[in-house]
Amino acid sequence: MDEYVKQLSKKAKVNSYLFYQLNTEIKNKALLSMADALWEEKYFILSENKKDVDKAKAKGMKKSFIDRLSLDEKRISQMCLSLKEIANLKDPIGEVICGWRRPNGLFINKVRVPIGVILIIYEARPNVTSDCMGLCFKSSNISILRGGSDSINSNLAIFKVLKEAVRKSGINFDPFFLVEKTEHEVIEILLKEKDNIDLVIPRGGEELIKKVTESSLIPVIKHYKGVCHIFVDEFARLNMAINICLNAKVQRPSVCNAVETILVHKKVAGEFLPLLKQEFDKYNVRIRGDEKALQILEDIELANESDWFNEYLDLIVSLRVVDSIDEAIAHINLYGSHHTDSIITENINNATKFVNEVDSACCFVNVSTRFSDGYEFGLGAEIGISTDKLHARGPMGLEELTTYKYVVYGSGQIRS
């Protein structure tokens, strides 16, 4: 196993220097070929995905897990569209971020460059395979992908299709690698390859991310759990608030940008909560509320302290009635995961206060938390949603997969 990992990571490092041979036109052509190939081979990919889904069902996995694992034509179409969007985006590599001339005549440029070799460790979502390949490829980074064993057939199918598309585009080196070994020990070995791997991005549950962070000798950008909040302010339009809360919880509850806790101002709680429950009941959403919420909605569960920290990834939601916007902000900063939080309000002062004081990667006003997504942000796709503050935060697109170097031009200057 050690030798397998060593050879793979060494080859990735060597290949990372070959990326400088590829200009933007070549990369974009390959990305479009990758998108076309995914669609042309969709039935092969779906048949391989079915093997994973059937195994997961036989093991009795949760519906939310099955949803993240499953592909259909619509999701493959979205994967194709993401690759095309990435092709249409500006290439960040070689961009001069800024430049200046010194009194001694030196001209200094700060230039955007790729990070190098990026290891992505992820769990059940096979669309991550193509998204990460596309973003790393456009930003001239070599990607090493290690998906979960539950999605191995899906990931291998997508990888084979995209690798062949790149080869047919005339690129004579491997720009991405898939770790085909599913043993857990392979991750531990990969995380020690600090001489060949420049960055690790784990995507998955909190336990995976903690384990990677604790074990890695390589810098890690963390994508912690999405305990996302919506605060329904006293100045909210209640019909809009209902629609947003419903979308944020039920449209796809198994993903990290689904809302997990709804905070409601006490002045509108009496009118709003029965309307919200009426809509949630249509989708069998379980509500866990605080004591104030239970005084309005008698047939809901009483929330405990751990519920406020919980990322359910399911049709369950926590509900709390607050006395003020300050109490709502304090709750979010204490219990949230600094991922995505939204306020529903018509009061510009409260909106400004919320986005200024909530310490999260994404702060929304009158928007469903489901829009916390690289594609929806116009980034083509995302490598993940970072809850770190360094070096990237929020949905990570092309720019977040770059670093910079200084390029200095002179005319014979020597330092005295």
Q: Check: CB of residue 399 under 8 Å from CB of residue 140.
A: no
Q: Tell me the per-residue pLDDT of 144-169, one tens digit each, with 9 for 90 and over.
A: 999 999 999 999 999 999 999 999 99
* DSSP calls for 49-100: HHHHHHHHHHTT--HHHHHHH---HHHHHHHHHHHHHHHHSPP-TT-EEEEE
Residue 389 is predicted with a pLDDT of: 86
* Band of pLDDT at residue 328, cut at 50, 70 and 90: very high
- Give the largest CA-CA distance in the chain: 81
* Predicted structure pTM score: 0.90
Residue 323 is predicted with a pLDDT of: 98
Residue 70 is predicted with a pLDDT of: 96
Average of pLDDT values for 261-290?
98
Asked if the bond preceding 184 is cis, omega within 30° of 0, the reply is no
* Band of pLDDT at residue 327, cut at 50, 70 and 90: very high
CA 415 to mean position of chain CA atoms: 47
Residue 123 is predicted with a pLDDT of: 86
Residue 64 is predicted with a pLDDT of: 84
Residue 53 is predicted with a pLDDT of: 97
DSSP H/E element including 12: helix 2-16
User: Do the bridges between strand 316-322 and strand 385-386 make them parallel or antiparallel, or are there none, so unpaired?
Assistant: unpaired
Short-list 389, 380, 398, 390, CA closest to 113:
398
Residue 124 is predicted with a pLDDT of: 83
Average of pLDDT values for 133-146?
98
Report percent pLDDT > 70 for the chain: 100
Q: Tell me the per-residue pLDDT of 60-96, one tens digit each, with 9 for 90 and over.
A: 998 888 999 999 999 999 999 999 999 999 999 999 9
Average of pLDDT values for 258-266?
98
Same fold? 2-221+396-409, 228-371: no
Residue 302 is predicted with a pLDDT of: 97
Q: Give the number of C-alpha atoms closer than 13 A to the C-alpha of residue 321, restricted to the C-beta side.
A: 19
Residue 224 is predicted with a pLDDT of: 79
118 burial via Cβ count (<10 Å: 0-12, 13-18, 19+): buried
Q: What is the DSSP letter of 233?
A: -
pLDDT(143) > 90:
yes
114 pairs with which residues across the strands?
402
pLDDT(402) > 90:
yes
CA 154 to mean position of chain CA atoms: 19
Q: What 3-state class would DSSP assign to 232?
A: strand
Q: What 3-state class would DSSP assign to 111?
A: strand
CA distance 86 to 397: 9
Q: Which CATH class is domain 228-371?
A: alpha beta
pLDDT(344) > 90:
yes
Residue 207 is predicted with a pLDDT of: 86
Residue 222 is predicted with a pLDDT of: 87
CA distance 362 to 349: 18
Residue 324 is predicted with a pLDDT of: 98
Residue 223 is predicted with a pLDDT of: 82
Residue 99 is predicted with a pLDDT of: 98
* Structure-token match 């406020």, residue found: 308
Q: Tell me the per-residue pLDDT of 104-125, one tens digit each, with 9 for 90 and over.
A: 999 999 999 999 999 999 988 8
pLDDT(253) > 90:
yes
Q: Check: CB of residue 304 under 8 Å from CB of residue 332.
A: no
Q: Tell me the per-residue pLDDT of 175-232, one tens digit each, with 9 for 90 and over.
A: 999 999 988 899 999 999 999 999 999 988 788 889 999 999 999 998 878 999 999 9
Residue 204 is predicted with a pLDDT of: 81
All structural domains of the chain with their residue ranges: 2-221+396-409, 228-371
Average of pLDDT values for 312-334?
97
Assigned CATH for 2-221+396-409 = 3.40.605.10
